[in-house]
Amino acid sequence: MLKLHDLYKVYRTDDVETVALSGVNLEINQGDFIAVMGPSGCGKSTLLNIIGMLDSPSDGSYCFLDEDVAGYGEAQLSVIRKKNIGFIFQSFNLIDELTVAENIELALLYHDMPAAERTRRVKDVMDRIGIAHRAGHMPGQLSGGQQQRVAVARAIVGDQPLILADEPTGNLDSVHGQEVMDMLRTLHSEGTTIVMVTHSPAHADYAQRTVNLFDGYVVTENTRAA
Amino acid sequence: MFWNNIKIALRNLKKNKLYATINVVGLALGLALYVFASLLADYERTHDMFFRNADRIYTVGTSVLPEANLGIRDIDSAHTALAPLIKAEIADIQLVARSLRREYLVRVDQESFYERVRFVDPEFTEIFDFKFVSGDPSALQDPSSVIISEAFSQKYFGDSDPIGKVVTLDNKHDFHIAAVIEDVPLNSHFNSAILNASVLDIFISFQALSRISDYNPEGEWDNLSVNDLTYVQLPPQLDGDWLQAQATSLFDRHMPEAGKDVFSGFKVRPLKKANLVIWEMLGLPVMTIIKLLGLLVLIVACVNYTNLATAQALGRSREVGMRKTMGASQRQLLTQFLVESITITAIAMLVALAGLEVIIQLFNNATNKILTLSYMSTLPWLVMTTLIVGVSAGAYPAWLITRASPIDALRDVARKTKKGTRFRAVMIGVQFAISVFMLSVVAIMYVQNQKMEDASYVFPRSEIYTLQRLNVEGISERLDTLQTELKNIPGVENVAYSIWTPFDQSNSSTNVSTVPGDSSNKVSLHILRISPEFFDTYDIPLLSGSAPTREMANDMYSEESESINVVVNELALEQLSLGPAHEAINKRFYDLDEDDNLKEFVIKGVVPSQNIVGLHNDIHPFMFYYDPTNHWVASIRIRGNMLSTVASIEKVWKDVIPEYPMQGRFLDETFEEVFKIFRAMNMTLAGFAGLALILALIGLFGLAAFMAAQRTKEIGVRKVLGAGSMQIARLLVWQFTKPVLWALLVALPLAYFASAAYLTFFAERIGSSQAAVIMLGAGVFGVLFAWGTVAGHAIRIAQRNPIQALRYE
């Protein structure tokens, strides 16, 4: 599905140059469930942001569905992104001024989809995730677990084939964390490709493959036996 | 998507009530003032449009040579001899009419009032299609009939039919009422021109004026009165430029040489300009200035919005990041933010319109205007204004917040790197520059007006009561008796007669020279005809010589006089090169105009040069002489209780001249006439400037609150590290001080030039160093207000417990 080759990401601020990713090579196939692990500041989130086309690499190539997107501008990336990728963030990133249903609908809003179709899809996904009874609530009225469910619903409502989850359980207690992981497992079983950054070895165990990063390098890749 | 954007906008408003209120109230104030100023300017500029041929009707006025020193650049009236010439010489023009306004005592049965009567040519009712309630325009063909308005009819006859009833002018000229017209709407120059307004209540054939006052129907070139207007209606194929060319040709061929010393030509104006002619005459484009001020205040309001929206938008960085992550393009997000800003502007516009409904009503009641806010005709303009304001106010914040990459937006990089800080500083600078600019100009105008008013107290204006309109048969022959009786009233110190009083804005002049017939050294001397008591009554000191007396024959003018003793002012001496005051007595100079017998003037006294005509004029060279044939006004100097003395004056009047009601007014009122226009301009500008400053301060307050909230964590850390409350407050205040100081640097020089333009209008001006001090004062005032606004909030924030500040994040 996607292939990173000799990928670099360097941040420059005035006099300081920070290398976040250093020659990363990674291939992710359709239907994979990959966990990215490593200590704080090792480049996990940067890697995820580049895979998600929220950020661009400084060097190297990034092939997404056989298309090299490394040099693409924001406008082109945005088109690929909205068709193919759903995001789940540690801090949920729900919009406070929108209700649960509207937050989920946001993922469809930029897809030229008729309003009736959007409403139907939002309703379906809320039923599926079990938050339909909270449809009219504002994010501030929900618990952390509920907010992350909404975030998951928003990530999957567009039926994108790839879900990127940046520490999706980082802000949750163990029970709610478990719930989210179960959802991701179900999604994976339904064929969705998932790349997840996590600190938790237990949650990493849900994945088929774990990529360990250290100081911007991929140090090990472990594939779990089926 | 569109509704989604509006929904978000409304929810954001609800969430941030303080900023929403500031934004909506600020924009509403700015919009209300802008819309009001535009409506007013358009209203004033579209007077008389209800006359069927309004766009083909022109007035012919007269331009004044700058050398004539009359204090105005042109006059909207023309010599009454012009209209007959137009009719006789220009075949293409069929419709020309003069309108001469004269004051008469109008009596119906036992009721009498002074009224302004218009004497008009018969074409007057063809040019202006008045609506006749009864009778018809042919009434003007009969020199013994009058046409009256419904208001006039109501005043004198109540509900009874006035047709055929008799109206008597000055107790002796009878006319019968032949027609009644509907009252002319208020938005006509007949009603609302500042200089010349007099409701069109009663008008009579021009022929009648000849009958009752020996007025030559062919008109005259000697006298130009602001009361004499000339209207021309052109056929459809001809325009104003053509008429102007014809008028210029007539001027060149017919204006007498004496007139060409004062006037430069005739000036044709479309009828719709008749209402605003005073501003053109004074050279002050007041309506344009009002529109511009409205726009400036709106800009201040927009800047307010932009500034606060920029600060707020940065707080929505994550939302933008999230939307971009979901695939929103920058264009879509720009649209979203602009829709929000247009929504807020639309709400503000609704608030402004609601406010305007009340304001316009109050304004109409106070000013006797019929300004209306017609939604049907102004809707496209209102919508366009809303869109333009919404887009221009929201463009920068929208662009700033939507240009970040998704990941920068999600990380809130913009806020951390203080993006937009410089822009906000510049915007604060712009607001304060506009406010301080306006304040400075207001302050200078105020001080200049005050100087003009203070200078007018050189005359004992508050101790003089005047009796007007004494030049009427039946009154003029009893003036000696009146004077004697008035002097007997306890409290009356002196009684003087003159043709007009100081500050009456009248002008009468003649060309003189120290050598008979030598026009190469001519000096134009202004003339004031007086009675001997004039100088004492007005506290005008004699520097040498003496005032005229009743005893010396050569002191008194009569139609046979060939030589007369005069009192001149020092400026006249200087221009005539007649040496200092003490050497001037008995020196002579000679009249160059040959319109009467008077040839020689002998200097009997010298007075200081004072501004007699009115203080926006230069001080003129003057001569005064005793002319009992031209006693039009009595000036009664009163010591003690004015009101009881005026009651005694009325009693004396009734005893001496029982047939005419007394027309008295305090001299202060005459002076006030001069000042009221300048005061009104000053008040208007002060209103605009005050609002601009209030808006700028509201904006500053909102921004200060927002910035303090943004820096809460920093404040907490600083306090933990030992910063005192005052140090924190100073930190918060200082960030706003720099742009305000920059604003002063820009605003003050601009204000200096703008004020200079206003000051050139006056002969006696405040000094440039005084002007500089005033402007600096206005600047300091602006800065202190800015500090006050920010400091109150900053001190409150600075006094908070540091842990509260740290918990904030």
A95 contacts in chain B (CB < 8 Å):
319, 322
- The predicted-structure confidence for B338-351, as pLDDT tens digits, reads as follows 998 999 999 999 99
**Cα–Cα dist B72/B222, whole Å:** 19
Mean pLDDT of B132-140: 87
Calculate ∠ Cα A73-A77-A82, nearest 5°. 155
* Residue A72 pLDDT exceeds 80: yes
* Residue B587 pLDDT exceeds 50: yes
Task: Give the residue from B53, B67, B50 showing the smallest Cα distance to B509.
Answer: B67
**For residue B168, what are the contacts with CB-CB under 8 A and spacing of at least 6?**
B106, B107, B108, B174, B175
- Residue of B598 and B805 predicted with greater confidence: B598
Backbone region of residue B474 per phi and psi (left: phi > 0; alpha: psi in -120 to 50; beta: other values): left
Average pLDDT, chain B: 86
- The mean-pLDDT minimum among B135-139, B332-336, B414-418, B656-660 falls in B414-418
- Residue of B246 and B450 predicted with greater confidence: B246
Two tokens at A30?
Answer: 């359709």
C-alpha separations of A126 from A120, A142, A156 in Å: 10, 14, 10
Task: Give the residue from B525, B520, B488 showing the smallest Cα distance to B508.
Answer: B525
Instruction: Note the pLDDT of residue B807.
Output: 58
Task: Give the residue from B575, B571, B665 showing the smallest Cα distance to B611.
Answer: B571
* Residue A147 pLDDT exceeds 70: yes
Q: B761, B703 in Cβ contact below 8 A?
A: no
A89 contacts in chain B (CB < 8 Å):
410
Q: What's the start-to-end Cα distance of chain B, in Å?
A: 33
- The predicted-structure confidence for A154-180, as pLDDT tens digits, reads as follows 988 988 999 999 999 888 888 888 888
Backbone region of residue B767 per phi and psi (left: phi > 0; alpha: psi in -120 to 50; beta: other values): beta
The nearest CA of chain A is from the CA of B716 a distance in Å of 25
Interchain proximity B8–A97, CB inside 8 Å: yes
Band the pLDDT of B684: cuts 50, 70, 90. confident
Interchain proximity A54–B405, CB inside 8 Å: yes
Interchain proximity A49–B329, CB inside 8 Å: no
The nearest CA of chain B is from the CA of A194 a distance in Å of 17
The nearest CA of chain A is from the CA of B406 a distance in Å of 5
Mean pLDDT of B486-499: 94
Among B1, B318, B325, select the one facing A109 at the smallest CB separation. B1
Alpha helices in B90-142 (DSSP H): 124-127
The residue extents of the domains of chain B are 2-41+286-451+674-807, 74-282, 469-662
Interchain proximity A110–B405, CB inside 8 Å: no
A160 touches chain B (CB under 8 A): no
Sheet holding A193-197, edge to edge: A85-89, A162-166, A193-197, A33-37, A209-214, A217-223
Q: Which of A9, A14, A21, A55 to mutate to test the interface with B (most CBs of B within 10 A)?
A: A55
Q: B1, B329 in Cβ contact below 8 A?
A: no
Task: Give the residue from B596, B589, B562 showing the smallest Cα distance to B575.
Answer: B589
A121 touches chain B (CB under 8 A): no
**What is the DSSP annotation of B749-809?**
HHHHHHHHHHHTT-SS---HHHHHHHHHHHHHHHHHHHHHHHHHHHHHHHTS-HHHHHHT-
Residue that the structure tokens 């105009």 belong to? B593
Return the bridge partners of B666, or none. B465
B11 contacts in chain A (CB < 8 Å):
97-98
**For residue B527, what are the contacts with CB-CB under 8 A and spacing of at least 6?**
B508, B509, B510, B622, B623, B624, B625
A-chain residue closest to B10, CA distance: A97
* Residue B706 pLDDT exceeds 80: no
B-chain residue closest to A155, CA distance: B326
- Residue of B173 and B675 predicted with greater confidence: B173
Among B12, B322, B327, select the one facing A93 at the smallest CB separation. B322
Report for A96-110, B8-22, B67-81, B142-156: range of highest mean pLDDT: B142-156
Residue B186 per-residue DSSP state: S
What is the share, in percent, of chain B residues with pLDDT greater than 70?
A: 96
Band the pLDDT of B615: cuts 50, 70, 90. low
Interchain proximity B410–A54, CB inside 8 Å: yes
Residues of B with CB under 8 A from a CB of A: 1, 4, 7-8, 11-12, 15, 318-319, 321-330, 332, 405-407, 410
Rounded to 5 degrees, φ, ψ at B109 are: 55, -120
What is the share, in percent, of chain B residues with pLDDT greater than 90?
A: 36
Q: Could you give the angle at which helices B17-45 and B286-314 cross, rounded to 10 degrees?
A: 160
Among B319, B324, B330, select the one facing A95 at the smallest CB separation. B319
Report for B249-253, B372-376, B456-460, B760-764: range of highest mean pLDDT: B249-253
Residue B618 per-residue DSSP state: P
Mean pLDDT of B292-315: 86
Q: Tell the CATH superfamily of the A31-57+74-223 domain.
A: P-loop containing nucleotide triphosphate hydrolases (3.40.50.300)
B7 contacts in chain A (CB < 8 Å):
102
- The predicted-structure confidence for A7-41, as pLDDT tens digits, reads as follows 999 988 777 888 889 999 999 999 999 999 999 88
Instruction: Note the pLDDT of residue B432.
Output: 83
Mean pLDDT of B670-687: 80
Instruction: Note the pLDDT of residue B198.
Output: 63
* Residue B115 pLDDT exceeds 80: yes
A115 touches chain B (CB under 8 A): no
**Cα–Cα dist A98/A116, whole Å:** 18
A-chain residue closest to B410, CA distance: A93
Mean pLDDT of B95-120: 89
Mean pLDDT of B98-110: 89
Interchain proximity B328–A78, CB inside 8 Å: yes
Instruction: Note the pLDDT of residue B216.
Output: 84
- Residue of B622 and B423 predicted with greater confidence: B622
A171 touches chain B (CB under 8 A): no
The nearest CA of chain A is from the CA of B317 a distance in Å of 11
Interchain proximity A106–B332, CB inside 8 Å: no
- The predicted-structure confidence for B691-700, as pLDDT tens digits, reads as follows 888 888 888 8
Alpha helices in chain A (DSSP H): 44-51, 74-84, 100-109, 115-129, 144-156, 174-189, 201-204
Calculate ∠ Cα A104-A105-A109, nearest 5°. 135
The nearest CA of chain B is from the CA of A50 a distance in Å of 10
A106 touches chain B (CB under 8 A): yes
Interchain proximity B405–A55, CB inside 8 Å: yes
Return the bridge partners of A68, or none. A63
Q: Which of B5, B322, B405 to mutate to test the interface with A (most CBs of A within 10 A)?
A: B322
**Cα–Cα dist B102/B100, whole Å:** 6
Residue that the structure tokens 């000013």 belong to? B367
A74 contacts in chain B (CB < 8 Å):
324, 330, 405-406
Among B12, B318, B405, select the one facing A93 at the smallest CB separation. B318
A9 touches chain B (CB under 8 A): no
Residue B767 buriedness (CB in 10 A; 0-12 / 13-18 / 19+): exposed
Interchain proximity A110–B326, CB inside 8 Å: yes
Instruction: Note the pLDDT of residue B809.
Output: 45
The residue extents of the domains of chain A are 31-57+74-223
A92 touches chain B (CB under 8 A): no
